[in-house]
Every structure is written in structure tokens, then in C-alpha cells.
């Protein structure tokens, strides 16, 4: 997810949940989004949310399949606690989470532009085994 800022409340939520990690294999990545990322216009390419302060990725890993419920629950609770601070998601951090999350990764305008490109170059949706953008769009033609 992208975070607009790192307020004290947001930092507390991150550190509180990170302190309760359920697996020593788990990682929490926090990457700043400043500099060149923010100098490129939002509509210049597919990468969106350029005005975010940072991205946060919760990478939960474990070895024992029997522990899956506990680790998944911790991850979901962590992500839920950060929702008040989050805006959008990074498409490469998504699992199989559905079309709404893919749309959130690109933002409405970029998603519509990409859907129009998909309609033009892949109307049969052959390239769909990823965070899929369905052929469609708002009728606008890609440049």
C-alpha cells in the first residue's frame, strides 16, 4: 500500500504490528517515494500514486503449512490497521485480490487508459495471467 505520510499514529501502528510478527521469515518493507518518482506526471505512464510519501509491503512467509491461518490473520490484521493511512496499492505487491485492487493500483484515469490500450492490442485478453486489466475502457482511444 502507499502511505501519504508517516504520522506518529501510523508509525505506532507499524511498529506495534511488526513487533507481533508471527514468523521470523516475515519482512516489512518501507520504501520512500520522493525525488524523481514525484517529478514525473501522474498520467505519463502506468505507475500511479506518485504523490505518496512511501510504499509499505508486508511480506509474510512461514515454513509450516499448519500455521497458515495464524500468519494470514496477522497479515490481514496488520493491513487493516494501516487502512486509515493508506491510499492505493502497488500492482506488483498484489496477490490474487480481484479487479477492484488492480484498479486501485493504477487509479481511475490510468486504469481507463490502460483498458483502452488493452482493447486495442489484446481484445481477446490473451495476456491475462497477471494483475489483469480487462479490455474495455471508457471509449477513449489510446495515443
Structural domains of the chain in order of their starting residue, each with its CATH number = 2-88 (3.40.462.20)
Per-residue pLDDT tens for 81-132?
999 999 888 888 887 778 888 888 888 888 999 999 999 999 999 998 888 8
Per-residue pLDDT tens for 2-25?
998 899 999 999 999 999 999 999
Question: What pTM value is reported for the model?
Answer: 0.77
Measured CA distances, 77 to 10, 16, 20 (Å) = 14, 11, 11
How many helices (H) and strands (E) would you count in the chain? 5, 3
Amino acid at each position: 500500500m502507499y502511505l501519504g505520510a508517516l504520522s506518529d499514529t501510523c508509525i505506532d501502528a507499524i511498529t506495534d504490528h511488526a513487533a507481533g510478527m508471527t514468523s521470523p521469515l516475515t519482512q516489512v518493507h518501507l520504501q520512500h517515494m520522493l525525488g524523481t518518482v514525484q517529478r514525473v506526471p501522474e498520467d505519463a505512464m502506468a505507475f500511479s500514486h506518485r504523490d505518496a510519501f512511501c510504499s509499505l509491503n508486508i511480506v509474510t512467509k512461514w515454513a509450516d503449512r499448519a500455521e497458515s491461518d495464524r500468519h494470514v490473520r496477522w497479515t490481514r490484521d496488520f493491513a487493516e490497521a494501516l487502512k486509515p493511512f493508506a491510499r492505493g496499492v502497488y500492482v506488483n505487491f498484489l496477490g490474487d485480490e480481484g479487479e477492484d485492487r488492480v484498479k486501485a493500483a493504477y487509479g481511475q484515469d490510468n486504469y481507463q487508459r490502460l483498458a483502452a490500450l488493452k482493447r486495442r492490442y489484446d481484445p481477446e485478453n490473451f495476456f491475462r495471467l497477471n494483475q489483469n486489466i480487462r479490455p474495455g475502457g471508457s471509449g477513449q482511444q489510446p495515443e
